[in-house]
Amino acid sequence: MRVLVVEDEPYMAEALQAGLRQEAIAADIALDGDRALERVAVNDYDAVVLDRDIPGTHGDEVCAVLVRDHPGTRIIMLTAAGRLRDKVDGFSLGADDYLTKPFALEELVMRLRALARRPATAVDPVLHCGDLRLDPYRREAHRGGRPLRLPRKQFAVLELLMRADGAVVTAETLLEKVWDEHADPFTTAPRVAVSHLRRVLGDPDPIVTVPGVGYRLVDPERER
């Protein structure tokens, strides 16, 4: 996932960013509403963690813009107020979820994961491809019953490939979704991560390289 954290308290924003990165979630920061709108205009975010009371453009207006211009982006509203009226207002603006400060990072991560797997129809939260099994919630991956020890970036790359369900994932998409805005667009990091991931997964190799395009994940038994 790639997430934008909109929070006007720098310490809180940086703490959330660091915590999300530990969970293999790429996170950018915006300290005010104006900066948030600039970032969502140029980046494709899966979710926005939006403090309602922020300087510049108010959080309510940021939410309205997201709902209107980026309907695929999930929104979790944050507020220090626990009043029912505030929650009703947030949901009426189009927010997908609501958290009242203070909250546990673990709860935010679980809510983000839940939103990420909320499609038009219900799906199994555990991802499967051949003998590969990946549980984003428990941060566990197995192949043929064998546990896989994957660093955060490799886990995120594998999750993205598995969610693509056999479709090609470009190197640009990997960079966009797994790394953050500070990543060099000319970096070879996605290619290196895929190479390391292949070594961990072992044979037969389930990752197919599509020259000049990207990668896709297959069930080697079906490809024979």
Residue 100 and residue 52 in contact, taking contact as beta carbons nearer than 8 Å: no
Tokens read off for 111: 């809510």
Find the mean pLDDT for residues 183-191: 79
CA distance 169 to 165: 10
pLDDT at res. 123: 44
Label the pairing between strands 132-135 and 146-147: unpaired
Beta bridge partners of 27: 3
Judged by phi (left if over 0) then psi (alpha if -120 to 50, else beta), residue 46 lies in alpha
**pLDDT tier for residue 219 given thresholds of 50, 70 and 90:** very high
Reply yes or no: is the peptide bond before residue 190 cis, omega within 30 of 0: no
Q: Is the pLDDT at 21 greater than 60, yes or no?
A: yes
pLDDT digits (tens, 9 = 90+) for 119-150: 534 445 688 999 999 988 778 999 999 999 99
Beta bridge partners of 140: 135
Residue 155 and residue 25 in contact, taking contact as beta carbons nearer than 8 Å: no
Q: Is the pLDDT at 224 greater than 80, yes or no?
A: no
CA dist 40 → 20, 62, 83, 149, 205 (Å):
18, 10, 28, 33, 36
pLDDT at res. 24: 85
Q: Tokens 């189009």 appear where?
A: 94
Other Cβ atoms closer than 10 A to 131 = 16
pTM of the predicted model as reported, rounded to 2 decimal places? 0.66
Find the mean pLDDT for residues 201-220: 93
Label the pairing between strands 207-210 and 214-217: antiparallel
Nearest to 151 by CA among 106, 196, 217: 196
Percent above pLDDT 90 for the chain: 59
Task: Give the residue with greater pLDDT, 102 vs 205.
Answer: 205
CA distance 198 to 219: 14
pLDDT digits (tens, 9 = 90+) for 56-110: 999 999 998 998 899 889 999 987 766 666 666 667 778 888 888 888 999 999 9
Other Cβ atoms closer than 10 A to 191 = 14
DSSP state of 147: E
Find the mean pLDDT for residues 175-181: 82
pLDDT at res. 120: 39
pLDDT at res. 122: 40
**pLDDT tier for residue 30 given thresholds of 50, 70 and 90:** very high
Judged by phi (left if over 0) then psi (alpha if -120 to 50, else beta), residue 63 lies in alpha
**pLDDT tier for residue 155 given thresholds of 50, 70 and 90:** very high
CA distance 48 to 28: 10
**Burial of residue 130 (number of CB atoms within 10 Å: 0-12, 13-18, 19+):** middle
